[in-house]
Structure 1
Amino acid sequence: MTGPDQTPDDGTDPDSPEGRGGAAGVLPAARPGSGRSGLDRRRVLGAAIEFIDEEGLDALTMRRLGSRLGVEAMALYRYVPGREQLLDGVVESVIDELYGDPDVHLAASHGWQDYLQRLAHGVRRIALAHPEVFPLVATRPPAAPWVRPPLRSLRWVESFLDTLIDSGFSEESAVAAYRAYSSFLLGHLLLEVSQKGVSISPRDQPEGVRQAAATTDLSEYPTVVRLESLLSLDESAAEFEEALENLLERLEVVLREGRTPQRGDAGS
């Protein structure tokens, strides 16, 4: 597992593409000029991810993506009905890289803490490989708009909740863990990519939320649906206060011991 204690001797960040030998996990894109016969949905999404990585999200249009693929923009509508659906597919494809990451386990075979640590580093690897794409993970309208925090990938939420419940968490504590974990992880990583000059502002409109909810079969996520009443609660104020208190307790340890914060202090 790639973790904070496995930083290479040269100081390279082990979660960065450089620390992974240049691996970014981008889906294969059709080569420019390959024409309509070389297209399928997977290649269109791969080209969109590649385009956003290189040019930024604001530069992405169906016309420009079509030009990169060597086709007219209209040819793309066979695979994605429009830009909004294209962005949804981009998010789902990037998140799916988690399921191809050998260091991310889909079950807590070595305990729930190991599962969460592996997942966190897997998500961070995605953020560092695709900093221009990553803000979409947290800002695209969720198919279940009552999920808080509103993470786009219900597959991720479902897997997270199932794994923690199977590890002995009650439904209430599993939802609380999801809130705390995803808020920390996404908040930290959004700040990290923003330091690279990436815009974090959401670009979604209410219509996008309605479309997302209307086009997703929630029967694929029975745990998310069953826990709707818990996931829809807004506990932001209490969670902020708890996180602040935990931080102050950590700083008290730092003050008492007269040293700089260490990685292990998070659990103090």
Structure 2
Amino acid sequence: MVEMATQADTAARARAPLSRERVLGAAIALADEGGVDALSMRKIAQALGVVPMALYKHVANKNELLDGMVDVLVGEIDPPAAGPDWKAVIRLRVLSARRMLLRHPWAAGVIESRMKARTAPTPAVMEYLDSMIGIFRAGGFSIDLVHHAMHVMGSRLLGFSQELFQEAAGSEPDPDAMPPEEMAARYPHLTELAMAVAHDEESVVGPGCDDQFEFEFALDLTLDGLERLRGVS
């Protein structure tokens, strides 16, 4: 009986039109089940009831598949809540990102690896970063303070800030990169921040960042916060 039901499910999947969304959804489900290292086009095709070659009409290769999966996951993060309290809005957004990462334990490693491999973040990641910067700016932060705040947030912003302005090692300029004027129109907050930071090519945090300053800024901010909490405990 179970075998008949499984066959019926496979047949139903095969009849449904194949799409990029279905391919990415199946890939994420398989990664949730067995980890991203075990993911393959063959397994995705089997889960969808199609031949592996059919997948390549929707994702050109494994890297494009992973980029698409990252964008789907970032899309699971709640949009910014309405309201003037920047701290509450940031807190809710970051907690939503944490819930997404807990649902998909493999995601953090894939996001980090794809950020390092690409010359620029994917569109969904760019939109996420732009909105986070926009929340700080609307809250009255100077662009310099936003820059440091993004570093302090660090992994709590999915680890994106560290590679925000960092090109992949040995990478060539992307011929398909978005023109600067289009980038500025689509991601105004991200562009403002990228243009404002000073450049330090030796930085391990990323070009444009003073490692020692960022380290001490985060340390002092943490110690100040602990001191404030100590005073009310």
TM-score after normalising by structure 1: 0.63
What whole-Å deviation, never above 9, does each CA across 1:180-209 have from its counterpart, x for those lacking one?
21345546xxxxxxxxxxxxxxxxx758x6
Letter of the 2:61 partner, please give it: G
2:131 aligned with 1:159: yes
Superposed counterparts of 1:1-268, under 5 Å: 32-33=10-11, 34-35=13-14, 37-99=16-78, 105-107=80-82, 109-141=83-115, 145=119, 153-186=125-158, 206=169, 213-215=174-176, 217=178, 219=183, 220-230=186-196, 232-247=207-222, 253=227
**Shift in CA distance, 105/229, structure 1 to aligned 2, threshold 3 Å:** closer
Letter of the 1:227 partner, please give it: L
Richer in helix (by share): 2
**Shift in CA distance, 175/210, structure 1 to aligned 2, threshold 3 Å:** same
Alpha-carbon distance between aligned partners in 2 of 1:51 and 1:167, rounded to the nearest angstrom: 40
- Greater CA radius of gyration, 1 or 2? 2
What whole-Å deviation, never above 9, does each CA across 1:76-108 have from its counterpart, x for those lacking one?
111111110110010000010114xxxx5344x
**Shift in CA distance, 215/50, structure 1 to aligned 2, threshold 3 Å:** farther
**Shift in CA distance, 74/146, structure 1 to aligned 2, threshold 3 Å:** closer
Partner of 1:4: none
TM-score after normalising by structure 2: 0.71
Q: Percent identity?
A: 30
- 3-state DSSP of counterpart to 1:223: helix
Alpha-carbon distance between aligned partners in 2 of 1:215 and 1:81, rounded to the nearest angstrom: 16
Alpha-carbon distance between aligned partners in 2 of 1:37 and 1:183, rounded to the nearest angstrom: 39
Alpha-carbon distance between aligned partners in 2 of 1:210 and 1:73, rounded to the nearest angstrom: 31
Structure 1 stretches lacking a partner, 5+ long: 1-30, 188-204, 255-263
Alpha-carbon distance between aligned partners in 2 of 1:43 and 1:177, rounded to the nearest angstrom: 37
Structure 2 stretches lacking a partner, 5+ long: 1-8, 160-167, 198-206
Q: CA RMSD in A?
A: 3.4
Letter of the 1:44 partner, please give it: V
Alpha-carbon distance between aligned partners in 2 of 1:223 and 1:32, rounded to the nearest angstrom: 46
Letter of the 2:150 partner, please give it: Y
Q: CA shift at 1:122, angstroms?
A: 0.3
**Shift in CA distance, 110/179, structure 1 to aligned 2, threshold 3 Å:** same
**Paired residue total:** 201
Contact 1:137 1:152 in 2 (8 A): no
